[in-house]
């Protein structure tokens, strides 16, 4: 089945620790995105990538890093510089075009313990 | 900063009623518009897309777009308890704003509760 796979579904991080969230897609989409969602809030864009080996900061990139070495993969690292990392993280992908929607993975819920 | 605003809600309607969800956007050159439904603890799923002025119907859902007024709405007819979810409006700026910018900007969402 074609789709977007995020792992793990739940992740616990100790303060001061870096963690990496995985996102893989087999939809052959050019663009991939990372969003953060806090309770009662909409989606805020962290980073996005239009093409392999290129990515741009979104609205809340501080404390996060990404890489795009393969078309299928767009991992997100939450660094210790992110002071409030507890949130629901959503990865999405799309065709990089005017009239196309984004498709989402099932999300990773990150909690700082 | 491109903005997408939704009525804050929560919106509560009785079963069988029409639910009306509204969204306004700030970027006049926005090209395409989407409504996503998100159940609690789950990821968003696309329910409607609309690209030109007017109405687009799909089953019990109707999306309405007015580019001159910069608003898009979603009507849900014969609302069911299973429609209870957060509805997110998303806007794609398109390729008229000084370069290709196809990333989606989301509103904060409106929580809809349909009461049996």
pLDDT band for position B96 (cuts 50, 70, 90)? low
With a CB cutoff of 8 Å and minimum separation 6, the contacts of B79 are B13, B14, B15, B16, B17, B18, B19, B112, B114
Report chain B residues touching chain A, CB-CB < 8 A. Answer: 1, 6, 31-32, 34, 42-46, 49, 51, 88, 90, 92, 94-95, 100, 102-109
Distance to chain A for B44, nearest Cα, Å? 7
pLDDT band for position B67 (cuts 50, 70, 90)? very high
Residue B98 φ/ψ region, left for φ over 0, alpha for ψ in the -120 to 50 degree band, beta for the rest: left
Query: Hey, are the CB atoms on B43 and A31 less than 8 Å from each other?
Result: no
Query: Hey, are the CB atoms on A42 and B31 less than 8 Å from each other?
Result: no
User: Considering only residues 51 to 90 of chain A, which have any Cβ-Cβ distance to chain B shorter than 8 Å?
Assistant: 58-59, 90
Residue B82 dihedral angles phi and psi, to the nearest 5°: -70, -10
Residue B83: helix, strand or coil by DSSP? helix
Distance to chain B for A79, nearest Cα, Å? 23
pLDDT band for position B95 (cuts 50, 70, 90)? low
pLDDT tens across A42-74, in order? 899 999 999 999 999 999 999 999 999 999 999
pLDDT band for position A83 (cuts 50, 70, 90)? confident
Across B8-26, average pLDDT: 93
The per-residue b/e assignment along B88-98, b for 16 or more CB within 10 angstroms, e otherwise, is bbbbbbbeeee
Of A40 and A106, the one with more pLDDT = A106
């Amino acid at each position: 089945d074609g789709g977007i796979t995020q792992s793990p579904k739940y992740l616990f991080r100790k303060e001061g620790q870096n963690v990496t969230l995985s996102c893989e897609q087999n939809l052959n989409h050019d663009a991939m995105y990372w969003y953060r969602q806090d309770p009662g809030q909409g989606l805020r864009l962290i980073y996005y990538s239009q093409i392999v080996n290129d990515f741009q900061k979104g609205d809340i990139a501080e404390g996060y890093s990404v890489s795009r070495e393969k078309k299928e993969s767009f991992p997100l690292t939450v660094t210790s510089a992110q002071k409030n990392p507890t949130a629901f993280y959503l990865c999405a992908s799309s065709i990089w075009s005017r009239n196309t929607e984004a498709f989402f993975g099932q999300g990773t819920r990150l909690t700082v313990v | 900063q491109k903005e997408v605003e939704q009525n804050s809600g929560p919106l509560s309607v009785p079963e069988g009623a029409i639910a009306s969800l509204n969204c306004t956007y700030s970027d006049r050159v926005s090209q395409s518009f989407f409504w996503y439904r998100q159940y609690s603890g789950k990821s968003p799923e696309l329910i409607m897309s609309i690209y030109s002025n007017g109405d687009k119907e799909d089953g019990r859902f109707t999306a309405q777009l007015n580019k001159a007024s910069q608003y898009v709405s979603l009507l849900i007819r014969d609302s069911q308890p299973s429609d209870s979810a957060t509805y997110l409006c998303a806007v794609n700026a398109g390729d008229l704003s000084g370069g290709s910018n196809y990333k989606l900007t989301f509103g904060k969402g409106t929580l809809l509760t349909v009461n049996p």
